[in-house]
């Protein structure tokens, strides 16, 4: 009986969220809202694979299903499981379940690690167990408490005058519930300044700013105050990639964006993101996106 009542409550909460999102996200796309970190995402059909550099955030699916690829690992989430990206990661995502009758609706809430750190400081000790570093991406089972907090935040869109006073309270509750979840230590790790995971986060930030520069592991390790071997081990534990593999993903994604949105030719785009050899750029691009740059961009433009 308790399980049935809980399922009915989750269904009711999702139905109200879907109704609100129908109004604020009327067609396909990503919609910012009057609450700065809150975005609505809609698709009326399954999508092709979309590559992106995903900032830290919480993704809650209200309807539909999505698959996300991190390097060679695959994660599938749906209305029963939320996704948290705790560090900036290059990902490939694909909506796998959506229709005009039941669109894919996803709520994305950007996470500011500084807010997590402040919350931990205010509530310390919050009771999150210390564990070895884990992936900077994880799935967890959603419950009514988290969904209710999300609904309170979303409802504020209908009363804009209340947003400045009440949105910070709703956001704080959402982050609190993430920290108290079974995987909460993963957010805890990135927010504690002295932790090795936080130092990996600093290395990730450096790579995102300097992806076009030559990568010297000893200099990066010194910058974040880790040994070369510890940086490599911890970095791979968090991102599933070595620093060099991570940089390569960033370079290729940025090059693709430059060719698609700014019209740069293949050689110029490759050079701009740090490749000295056009043939190496084309080879690695084909491996990641499934086609050489010129053919991939031509296909993109034909669809537009």
Domain shared by 61 and 138, yes or no: yes
pLDDT at 114: 86
Question: Residue 255's CB: how many other CB atoms inside 10 A?
Answer: 25
pLDDT at 11: 94
Task: Report pLDDT digits (tens) over 273-301.
Answer: 999 999 999 999 999 999 999 999 888 77
pLDDT at 165: 98
Domain shared by 157 and 15, yes or no: yes
**CA separation, residue 143 to residues 18, 31, 178, 261 (Å):** 17, 25, 11, 40
Domain shared by 15 and 56, yes or no: yes
Domain shared by 120 and 158, yes or no: yes
User: Residue 279 burial (CB < 10 Å; 0-12/13-18/19+)?
Assistant: exposed
Is the Cα torsion angle 294, 300, 303, 304 positive or negative in sign?
A: negative
User: Residue 195 burial (CB < 10 Å; 0-12/13-18/19+)?
Assistant: middle
Domain shared by 166 and 253, yes or no: no
How many domains does the structure of the chain reveal?
2
Domain shared by 7 and 70, yes or no: yes
Domain shared by 56 and 135, yes or no: yes
pLDDT at 158: 97
Q: What is the pTM of this model?
A: 0.92
pLDDT at 127: 52
pLDDT at 125: 59
Of 134, 165, 189, the position where a domain reaches its end is 189
Is the Cα torsion angle 168, 14, 107, 240 positive or negative in sign?
A: positive
Of 142, 168, 189, the position where a domain reaches its end is 189
Structural domain boundaries, residue 78: 2-189
Give one DSSP letter per residue of 72-127, joined into a string.
Answer: TEEEEEBTTEEEEE-S-EEEEEEEEE--SSS-EEEEEEE--HHHHHHHHHHH-S--
User: Which of 243, 253, 240, 248 minimizes the C-alpha distance to 73?
Assistant: 240
Distance separating alpha carbons of residues 55 and 152, to the nearest angstrom: 24
Residues lower than pLDDT 50 in the chain: 128-129
Domain shared by 13 and 152, yes or no: yes
Task: Report pLDDT digits (tens) over 141-162.
Answer: 999 999 999 999 999 999 999 9
Domain shared by 177 and 214, yes or no: no
């Amino acid at each position: 009986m308790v399980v049935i009542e809980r399922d009915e409550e989750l269904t009711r909460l999702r139905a109200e969220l879907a109704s609100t999102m129908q109004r604020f996200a009327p067609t396909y796309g990503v919609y910012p809202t009057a609450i700065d970190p809150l975005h609505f995402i809609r698709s009326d059909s399954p999508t092709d694979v979309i590559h992106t550099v995903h900032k830290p955030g919480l993704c809650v699916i209200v309807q539909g299903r999505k698959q996300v690829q991190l390097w060679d690992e695959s994660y599938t989430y749906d209305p029963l499981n939320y996704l948290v990206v705790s560090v900036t990661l290059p990902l490939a995502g694909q909506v796998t379940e959506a229709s005009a009758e039941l669109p894919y609706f996803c709520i994305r809430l950007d996470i500011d690690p500084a807010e997590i750190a402040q919350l931990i400081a205010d509530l310390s000790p919050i009771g999150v167990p210390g564990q070895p570093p884990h992936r900077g991406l994880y799935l967890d089972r959603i419950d009514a408490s988290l969904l209710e907090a999300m609904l309170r935040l979303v409802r504020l869109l209908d009363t804009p005058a209340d947003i400045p006073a009440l949105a910070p309270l709703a956001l704080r509750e959402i982050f609190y519930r993430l920290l108290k979840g079974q995987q909460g230590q993963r957010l805890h790790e990135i927010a504690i300044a002295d932790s090795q995971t936080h130092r990996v986060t600093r290395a990730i930030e450096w790579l995102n700013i300097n992806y076009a520069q030559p990568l010297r592991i000893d200099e990066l390790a010194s910058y974040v105050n880790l040994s070369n071997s510890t940086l490599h081990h911890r970095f791979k534990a968090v991102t599933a990639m070595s620093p060099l593999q991570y940089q390569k993903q960033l370079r290729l994604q940025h090059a693709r964006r430059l060719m698609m949105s700014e019209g740069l030719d293949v050689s110029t785009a490759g050079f701009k993101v740090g490749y000295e050899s056009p043939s190496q750029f084309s080879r690695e691009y084909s491996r990641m996106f499934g086609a050489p740059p010129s053919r991939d961009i031509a296909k993109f433009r034909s669809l537009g």
